[in-house]
Amino acid sequence: MSRTFYEFFAGGGMARLGLGAGWTCALANDFDPTKAAAYRRNFPDAGLHLIEGDVWALTPGDLPGQADLAWASSPCQDFSLAGGRAGLAGGRSSAFYGFWKLIVALGSEGRAPRILVIENVTGLLTSNGGADFTALCAALAGQGYAYGALEIDAAPFLPQSRPRVFVIAARDGARSGFEGRVGANPFRTAAIGRAFERLPADLKVHWMDWAGAAPPRRNSTLAALLDPDTEVRWNTAAETERLITLMSPRHQTRIATLGASGERSVGALFRRTRLVDGRRQQRAEVRFDGLAGCLRTPRGGSSRQTLVLVDRGQVQSRLISPRETARLMGLPETYILPGSTTAALHVTGDGVAVPVVGWLAREIIEPLLEDLEKSAEGACQIS
């Protein structure tokens, strides 16, 4: 049985890939030409359901039928812990309300999606002192949804540290079936608990703690996903030495220790501005824990990760390649990336990790839909 979904802020279609072949896309929308072009290249049926343009320009008539799921990865910049924290009132994240007005309109027509997934950065939980998260929960409750949230880092699935919040909302008919499930919630973090405690009592009654089996142990590392050494462009020795001089003594000692070991080690490096002795200084910080740092969209030279290779005492460095970032998002090798590096990094750095979506589908979304269908069948038999 094929499920149907709408994919808002679709990007390169990573939510679609995560949901898998058992799902049919009824509508995909993104206003970004680069991402829309990538979507078209990778999904031959995109001409049937992809609408490129502002979500505010969509009408309920653009959304066919009643979808089982609406997925929304709305722009995150105004929620980001690194940003200005404008919250839902911010210009970019207010795109959420363009999505929400469609959900409300569909509800008035009796065809609201059965399940909603709203994905964003972890700052969503605390933006404006938690007021934005409370407003989101109030909006969901007002449309008859029960809801809960998970904070999932991609690290259990992929060698990338990428924490994100997933708010999952289901029509209240799912409550009776899902509340009876007994299971651990591996992604109900302390931050989720605090967000729940900040909610007023009338919103707490709609809360659901979604249970799901913990994902299997990840068996890949950053090093395993990299291009062959002979097929990439390495920095010059001077460029690598410049990066090392930007490191703190602790990071420099780590590099020296790895070099002395004679073993091959791969690390991921970011350049950051830190306060050192009361002055702002640029620092290079490298991790050798087998994980890449969180991929970003290319908005400046320091936003692109650098890889550091320490092998038999020699230290080399280079920028991460677009294909490597695709692997770190769980995209298949057959995924067609944009031709330019900047465009490719824009697509991968602003997406959702594919296997995380797959876990949510198996453990939460599809069981929820089964509960909703059983609830509807029971109501029909009673009537």
pLDDT digit string (tens) for 1-47? 689 999 999 999 999 999 999 999 999 999 999 999 999 999 999 99
Q: Which of 132, 28, 31, 35 is nearest to 79 (CA)?
A: 132
Residue 87: the pLDDT is: 56
* pLDDT tens digits, 280-292: 888 899 999 999 9
Rounded average pLDDT over 147-168: 96
End-to-end CA distance of the chain: 26
Q: How many residues does the chain have?
A: 383
**Contact yes or no for 309/315 (Cβ under 8 A):** yes
Q: Looking at domain 3-216+350-382, which of 3.30.70.20, 3.40.50.150, 3.30.390.10, 3.40.50.300 is its CATH number?
A: 3.40.50.150
Is the CB of residue 328 less than 8 Å from the CB of residue 294?
no
Look-up of token digits 């008035």:
108
Give the Cβ contact number of residue 327 at 10 Å.
Answer: 23
Tell which residue, 50, 17, 12, has the closest CA to residue 34.
Answer: 12
Q: If pLDDT is split at 50, 70 and 90, which confidence band does 144 have?
A: very high
Q: Would the pTM of this model clear 0.85, i.e. be above it? A: yes
Is the model's pLDDT at 305 over the cut of 80? yes
Per-residue confidence (pLDDT) for residue 70, from 0 to 100: 98
**Residues of CATH 3.40.50.150 domain(s) within the chain?**
3-216+350-382
Q: What is the DSSP letter of 31?
A: -
pLDDT confidence bin for 299, thresholds 50/70/90: low
Check whether 313 has a pLDDT greater than 70. Answer: yes
